[in-house]
């Protein structure tokens, strides 16, 4: 087997990602182009056997601020066709990143938590599993809600909770309409809603330029779609869905504080499910929820909202580190622990 960087052959690399059962937009070179706009570099590493791809990893690298080294990260990767190909890819990738001056290679493939091929490779190469808790401490969510849309839309609708179906139909009766956005100039409507949501829910929204890059590299290539829900010309909710192969992901959502009783977000989700089904998808991925499903958890409402559509909980193996420079990695872990402690303290004192 031969390992190559396929930066000059993105179609070959991306075709493997798209055909893979666990392929993700975050593993495509298009996503690498998006991240380039925020200071990352991308490296599409592929393991070839007689001209056929057997494993791949889109690796993002960025200079660390306080340590003379790079951070490497493969979101929702690597991908592989056999355990042997996975081990070979990780070994070659580690050697490549060492030559680049990387400190650690982080990865979080969308494999089930008990996947033996992944866990065996992780043990053999001494990958370190990162403890990220049950909520949203990981880079990508470990606990996700997945809806099977391989059945008819009527069957999907019938399988929803009664209250969810009622809210969808209520929004329709009240005149809420959902539009697919085809003009980049209307991206600003979504971003205004996102800023309002960020202020209300106390999180930091990414820059407008970031979403422009998503439009340029994903929407224009059919890998993403922007949706807006209106009532009497007033935008009430917006969302961005990613799509690759047979799967669609609800990635970014935003909503106004106005007319929340009209249930625009429920109708928005239903129209995105209909869109995903129409493009040939069989899975609609609502993405993350907390792994703590106790009703008293402040995040329980997010789970209930997604469960109401008939989505089921899936838990992935989680986040793993492959240390490249072990001395620097230990130092970095110490600094990261302090950073996380400060962040939790600030959150608790809000």
Asked if pLDDT for residue 239 goes beyond 90, the answer is: yes
Specify whether 309 is located in the same domain as 324.
no
Would the pLDDT of 229 be above 60? yes
Contact 126/324 with Cβ under 8 angstroms?
Answer: no
Tell whether 47 is covered by a domain.
yes
Contact of 312 with 303, CB cutoff 8 Å: no
Query: Considering the domain boundaries, does residue 69 fall inside one?
Result: yes
Cβ neighbors of 52 (< 8 A, separation 6 or more) are none
Which DSSP string corresponds to 265-307?
A: HHHHHHHHHHHHHHTT-SEEEEEE--S---TTSTTHHHHHHHH
Are 177 and 279 found together in one domain? Answer: yes
To which residue do tokens 């080294």 refer? 69
Q: Which two tokens stand for residue 311?
A: 């989505």
- Whether 207 maps to a domain, the answer reads yes
Residue 94 belongs to a domain = yes
Does residue 72 sit within a domain? yes
pLDDT for 65 equals 84
Residue-wise pLDDT for 50-80, tens only, equals 889 999 999 999 998 878 899 999 999 999 9
Number of domains comprising the chain: 2
Do 106 and 184 belong to one domain? no
Whether residues 73 and 208 fall in one domain: no
Residues with Cβ within 8 Å of residue 213, at least 6 apart in sequence: 33, 34, 37, 38
**∠ Cα 305 311 112 (to 5°):** 125
Residue 138 lies in a domain: no
Q: Could you tell me if 64 and 16 lie in one domain? A: yes
When the pLDDT of each residue in the chain is averaged and rounded to a whole number, the result is 93
If you ran DSSP here, which 8-state letter would residue 110 be given? Answer: S
Cα(164)–Cα(155) distance, integer angstroms: 14
Helix H or strand E encompassing 73: strand 70-74
Residue 345 has pLDDT above 60, yes or no: no
For 249, the domain range is: 143-315
73 and 148 part of one domain: no
Do 106 and 164 belong together in one domain? no
Residues 340 and 310 occupy one common structural domain: no
The whole-number average pLDDT for the span 131-155 is 89
pLDDT cut 90: percent of the chain above it: 84
Could you tell me the two tokens for 272?
A: 């995105």
For residues 101 and 161, state if they share a domain. Answer: no
Taking the C-alpha atoms of 285, 290, 294 and 299 in order, what is their torsion angle to the nearest 10 degrees? -100
Confidence band, pLDDT 50/70/90 cuts, at residue 176 = very high
Whether residues 112 and 186 share a domain: the answer is no
Same domain for 324 and 310? no
Q: For the domain that residue 302 is a member of, what is the CATH number?
A: 3.40.630.30
CA 31 to chain centre: 11
């Amino acid at each position: 087997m031969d390992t190559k960087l396929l930066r000059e052959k993105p179609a070959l690399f991306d075709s493997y990602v798209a055909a893979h059962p666990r392929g993700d937009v975050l593993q495509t070179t298009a996503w690498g182009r998006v991240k380039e706009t925020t200071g990352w570099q991308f490296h599409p590493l592929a393991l070839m056997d007689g001209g056929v791809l057997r494993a791949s990893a889109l690796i993002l690298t960025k200079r660390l601020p306080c340590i003379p080294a790079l951070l490497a990260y493969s979101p929702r990767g690597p991908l592989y066709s056999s355990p042997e190909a996975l081990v070979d890819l990780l070994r070659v990738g580690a050697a490549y990143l060492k030559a680049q001056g990387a400190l650690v290679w982080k990865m979080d493939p969308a494999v089930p938590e008990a996947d033996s091929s992944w866990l065996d490779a992780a043990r053999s190469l001494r990958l370190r599993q990162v403890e990220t808790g049950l909520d949203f401490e990981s880079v990508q969510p470990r606990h996700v809600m997945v809806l099977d849309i391989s059945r008819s839309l009527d069957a999907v609708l019938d399988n929803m909770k009664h209250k969810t179906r009622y809210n969808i139909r209520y929004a329709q009766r009240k005149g809420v309409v959902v539009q697919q956005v085809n003009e980049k100039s209307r991206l600003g409507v979504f971003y205004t809603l996102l800023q309002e949501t960020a202020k209300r829910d106390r999180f930091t929204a990414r820059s407008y330029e970031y979403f422009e890059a998503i439009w340029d590299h994903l929407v224009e290539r059919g890998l993403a779609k922007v949706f807006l829900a209106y009532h009497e010309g007033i935008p009430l909710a917006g969302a961005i869905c990613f799509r690759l192969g047979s799967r669609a992901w609800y990635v970014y959502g935003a909503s106004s504080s106005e007319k929340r009783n009209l249930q625009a977000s429920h109708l928005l989700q239903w129209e995105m499910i209909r869109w995903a089904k129409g493009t040939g998808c069989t899975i609609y991925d609502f993405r993350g929820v907390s792994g703590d499903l106790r009703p008293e958890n402040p995040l329980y409402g997010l789970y209930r909202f997604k469960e109401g559509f008939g989505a089921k909980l899936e838990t992935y193996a989680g986040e793993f580190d492959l240390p490249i420079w072990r001395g620097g990695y230990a130092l970095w872990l110490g600094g990261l622990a302090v950073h996380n402690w400060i962040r939790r303290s600030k959150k608790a004192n809000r």
